[in-house]
Amino acid sequence: MKLDLVHPELRRSVTRMPRMPIRRTWGRRAVRALIVRHGPGEPVEGVDVREIDEGRGMRLYTPAGGGSGAALLWVHGGGYVIGDVVQDDAFCSTTARELGIVVVSTNYRLAPEHPFPAPLDDVFAAWQWLRESAGTLGVDQERIAVGGSSAGAGLAACLAQRLHDAGGARPAGQWLFSPMLDDRTAARRELDVVRHRVWNNAANRTGWGAYLGGEPGGPSTPDYAVAARRADLRGLPPAWIGVGDIDLFTDECHSYAERLRDAGVACDFDLVTGAPHGFEAWAPDTRVARGLLERGRVWLGARLTGTTSSAPGGS
């Protein structure tokens, strides 16, 4: 993909993005170790950050004063094969402080060592823990949203589907940043030549293949493995989807947003011109990224607390 298609504010950062050797075991292990050791961004002031015990691999972010009674369960990205809660310290702590909500960020077992359903089971367990701990945390069980980035957003969307079918409590909203929603994108070989920035279709095929335990794009997938494969989207929680227009996932995100709306589910779709995959994570201080983050937090604040973020806006 030509650099002139990338937003001017993002060009310098995107050219510095390293290639991630995720196809090989040694490469995935190296990337995982680097993320844990050098997670980008430190937690912001005014937020208490602590590890949750019992080996659950979760981080709890509590704003000064204890919060408004609302909460977010956040799921990190990484194509189902890499990633760790530490990579979102700055993002989660800022969200907790700006919206005055409790944020729980969870790890999950990674593919290919742990394919579906292990990652979704881990996210489901984190949801259960958050609801069971709501009283201790000062959280209203009816005001908990789920969200994530990339593969984490795909897991959050699948969690919303699983909870809907279980017939119990459902999330107050789905907060999805460039969600990885459809394995059939990976099977579209014509997309390989585009060479999307940050996350291309070769990497996408690796991620989906590891997660599903076979070639992506087949005639069927297990229930709750691939959010976009679900036929009936009626009754799901309201959603916000933010994605760049040169992201590999642009089409699948737009399609899912339209299908949600057609099913009677409120969905805000925020398309950012010239933005590659995950730009708000690796270029958070640019005006274009701050704008997306602000608009996303405004939506989430309205869903959970009836308030809006005080962070600076932009577009």
Q: What is the CATH number of the domain that holds 223?
A: 3.40.50.1820
Q: What does the mean pLDDT of the chain come to?
A: 93
Q: Which residues are catalytic?
A: 150, 247, 277
| The pLDDT of residue 125 is above 60 | yes
What is the tens place of the pLDDT at every residue in 242-273?
Answer: 999 999 999 999 999 999 999 999 999 999 99
Within-domain flag for 309:
no
Within-domain flag for 312:
no
Return the higher-pLDDT residue of 187 and 40: 187
pLDDT value for 74: 98
What is the tens place of the pLDDT at every residue in 66-108?
Answer: 889 999 999 999 999 999 999 999 999 999 999 999 999 999 9
Within-domain flag for 150:
yes
Within-domain flag for 75:
yes
Q: How confident is the model at residue 17 (pLDDT cuts 50, 70, 90)?
A: confident
Within-domain flag for 315:
no
Domain membership of residue 102 as a residue range = 3-303
What is the tens place of the pLDDT at every residue in 131-167?
Answer: 999 999 999 999 999 999 999 999 999 999 999 999 9
Within-domain flag for 175:
yes
| The pLDDT of residue 311 is above 50 | no
Whole-structure pTM value: 0.95
Within-domain flag for 310:
no
Q: How confident is the model at residue 65 (pLDDT cuts 50, 70, 90)?
A: confident
> What is the DSSP annotation of the chain?
--GGGS-HHHHHHHHTPPPP-TTSHHHHHHHHHHHHHS-SSPPPTTEEEEEESTT--EEEEEETT--SS-EEEEE--STTTS--GGGGHHHHHHHHHHHT-EEEEE--PPTTTS-TTHHHHHHHHHHHHHHHTHHHHT--TTSEEEEEETHHHHHHHHHHHHHHHHTS---S-EEEES----GGGTT-GGGGGG--SSS-HHHHHHHHHHHHTS-TT-S---TTT-GGG-S--TTPPPEEEEEETTSTTHHHHHHHHHHHHHTT--EEEEEETT--TTHHHHSTTSHHHHHHHHHHHHHHHHHHTS----S----
| The pLDDT of residue 309 is above 70 | no
Structural domain total, the chain: 1
Over residues 28-50, the mean pLDDT reads: 86
